[in-house]
A and B are shown apart, each in its own frame.
Chain A
Amino acid sequence: MLSATSSSDSNPAITFENVRIGFEEGDILRDVSFQVRERETLVLLGETGTGKTLSLKLAAGLLRPSEGTIRVLGKELSSMPERDLLEFRRHIGFVFQEGALFDSMTVGDNVAYRLQEDGVKDHEIEPRVLEVLRFVELEHTVDLFPSELSGGMRRRVSIARALINQPPIVLYDSPTAGLDPVTSQTIITLILRLRDVYGVTALLATQRLQDGFALANFRFDPAAKRVVHTVSNGNAAAGAKFAATRFLVLREGGVYFEGGQEELAGTKDDYLKRFLV
């Protein structure tokens, strides 16, 4: 594994320790260890089949590791009973690659789903649903079905659904995969807003390094209500206090690189350079 850097002294929100998971075809992840600190964004990079989605599902407790321990928000997931895991997952937001919206429900019902499950009263649900839909700029789609939305809109609804109960951690599975550059930028802006306005800790799996660099180089300014560059007037130190984005590259089932944007951008490693092209 390449050298790691840690930019923050805050508590780890997600910790993987020597995690191994395998299926019939062999191990997918072997001896994987990393941490994501509170309010930090860790970008998981890797080719298809390197275990990015698997890592997210492990962090959400949707899968159990064959070996090793996973702690999220101070709770040990590996040995947690399924009943407790269901309760735990209510504190985690998960944005699936294709949105995974319930196709038989309207956008409004999709977003309201978790609140309905929690027994929140109807008159409280509606304003909260509209608020998060407004956040993703899709308030007008509340009565539409997912099949009536474009791919980018479905991802945004998925983000809104993940946000409805304001989770401290959001897991993003390739949120910009298969989207055009403009729509991808919209999604990244949303992720920036979540990080910089609500202080959400994020684990983001992607194959697109530019998404990670965008998260590292930009921040959402709530006062100006727009995205601004983290390094203003060439002052990298000033920018560093905003940028809490690190990168972790998975390869052959293990952690191949872990570090900040500068190390990754300046790498001379041939494999890592493939992501930089």
Chain B
Amino acid sequence: MTLQVLVADTPLQVAGREAKTEERITVAAVFVNAAKSAVADVQEFAILCGRTLYAIFTPPYYLQDILQQMDNIGAGSLPIILLSGFFIGAVMVLQTGSQFTRFGQSSLTGDVVAIALVRELGPSLTGLLVTGRCATGIASELGSMLVTEQVDAMRAMGTNPIRKLVAPRVIATLLTLPLLTAMTDFMGLLGGCVASIFSLRLGAIEFWRRAIDALDFADLMQGFTKPFFFAFILATIGCYKGLTVRGGTQGVGRATTQAAVLASVMIIVADAFLTKVALFLANKLF
């Protein structure tokens, strides 16, 4: 029978594959490979960001998913934001108040707390806190979906995962992070006020009047522009790390950690550049 003759003649174990030779790894090769990998990562992340922006600005939208994510990211983060904001404001007053008291200027505490919170601490701390809670959550959720083939199943059923999974998370974070930042600012000022009353014997009305007077439009612009950038950073990094998981459940854990670290560092780096740009624009425009 032809079939069996062919079987007998087929060099099964060779089949076009050459024997593997052990390669010697050099230090230079390690650096080159690491650099290549980093460039590839940046490229993939840029592609994801581009596709996400396209999905954000073009229909169809998954409104149900956006609302669900807003509830998870926004309402879910509220308790830690409220609590942290209150105590951050209180600590700021405790740390700065004694210095102002030495010069008899304890009333300036309200100014300092307001400016520091609205311009800087509110957006960045909210960004970092939400990163700790949500970027990790997004990475682990999407990573788990990826390793259990749920993302492939979604694609197999004709759904674009960028529209269904990534865009709703990014939109929800973009919409909720500025609101959470406003809550952090308010709770920080409230915490500062309480600390001022009890430790500096400062009146509540005086504290609030000074705090509000100290803020101008440029401060508010700076404080409420940053959260949009931080939201995009933390959500896209969480999604990117989740959707590029390698190595099963262990990989999901690794991706979660990487998402938290990378998003936190990127928020701090972006904060420095955004502050510089915001101060420049404030000088030019206001």
Contacts and interface: CB of A to CB of B under 8 A. Distances in A.
Interface of A: 1-3, 26, 30, 57, 60, 62, 82, 86-90, 92, 94, 96-98, 100-103, 113-114, 117, 161, 251-254, 256-257, 259, 263, 267-269, 271-272
A103 B155 contact: no
Contacts of A62: 152, 155-156
A236 to B, nearest CB: 18
Contact of A254 (B3, B7, B15, B148): B15
A94 B156 contact: yes
A268 B15 contact: no
B6 interface: yes
Nearest to A90: B158
Nearest to A251: B12
A90 B157 contact: yes
Contacts of A268: 4, 7
B153 A117 contact: no
A98 B148 contact: yes
A26 B18 CA distance: 11
13 contacts: A1-B6, A86-B158, A87-B158, A89-B158, A94-B157, A96-B153, A101-B150, A102-B154, A103-B150, A113-B157, A161-B157, A251-B15, A269-B4
A267 B4 contact: yes
Contact of A100 (B17, B149, B160): B149
B262 to A, nearest CB: 23
* Most chain A CB within a 10 A radius of its CB, from B153, B154, B155, B160: B153
Interface in B10-51: 10, 12, 15-17
Contacts of A269: 4, 7-8
Contacts of B6: 1-3
Contacts of A88: 158
A173 B12 CA distance: 25
Given A102-B153, A161-B157, 10 more contacts: A1-B6, A30-B16, A62-B156, A82-B160, A86-B160, A96-B152, A96-B153, A256-B12, A259-B3, A271-B7
A113 B154 CA distance: 9
B101 interface: no
A267 B10 CA distance: 14
Contacts, number: 83
Given A3-B6, A252-B17, A272-B7, A57 B150 contact: no
B4 A103 contact: no
A117 B158 contact: yes
Contacts of A114: 157-158
Interface residues of B, number: 24
B149 A98 contact: yes
Given A2-B3, A252-B12, A100 B148 contact: yes
Interface of B: 2-4, 6-8, 10, 12, 15-17, 145, 148-150, 152-160
Contact of A271 (B12, B16, B149, B150): B12
B157 A117 contact: yes
Given A89-B158, A263-B3, A100 B15 contact: no
Q: Which of B3, B150, B159 has the most CB of A within 10 A?
A: B3
Contacts of A252: 12, 15-17
B157 A103 contact: no
Contacts of B8: 269
A92 B156 contact: yes
B153 to A, nearest CB: 4
Contact of A89 (B4, B12, B16, B157): B157
B282 to A, nearest CB: 43
Contact of A267 (B3, B157, B158): B3
Contacts of B17: 26, 252
A103 B148 contact: yes
B153 A94 contact: yes
A100 B152 contact: yes
Contacts of A2: 3, 6-7
Nearest to B149: A100
A272 B4 CA distance: 11
A263 B7 CA distance: 12
A251 B11 CA distance: 12
Q: 7 smallest A-B Cβ distances: which pairs?
A: A269-B7, A100-B153, A100-B149, A252-B15, A94-B156, A90-B158, A89-B158
Contacts of B16: 30, 252-253
A89 B155 contact: yes
B65 to A, nearest CB: 11
A3 B158 contact: no
B18 to A, nearest CB: 10
B12 to A, nearest CB: 6
Contact of B149 (A1, A97, A253, A267): A97
A271 B11 CA distance: 12
A259 B160 CA distance: 37
Contacts of A102: 145, 150, 153-154
B57 to A, nearest CB: 16
A263 B16 CA distance: 26
A87 B160 CA distance: 10
A2 B3 CA distance: 6
Contacts of A3: 2-3, 6
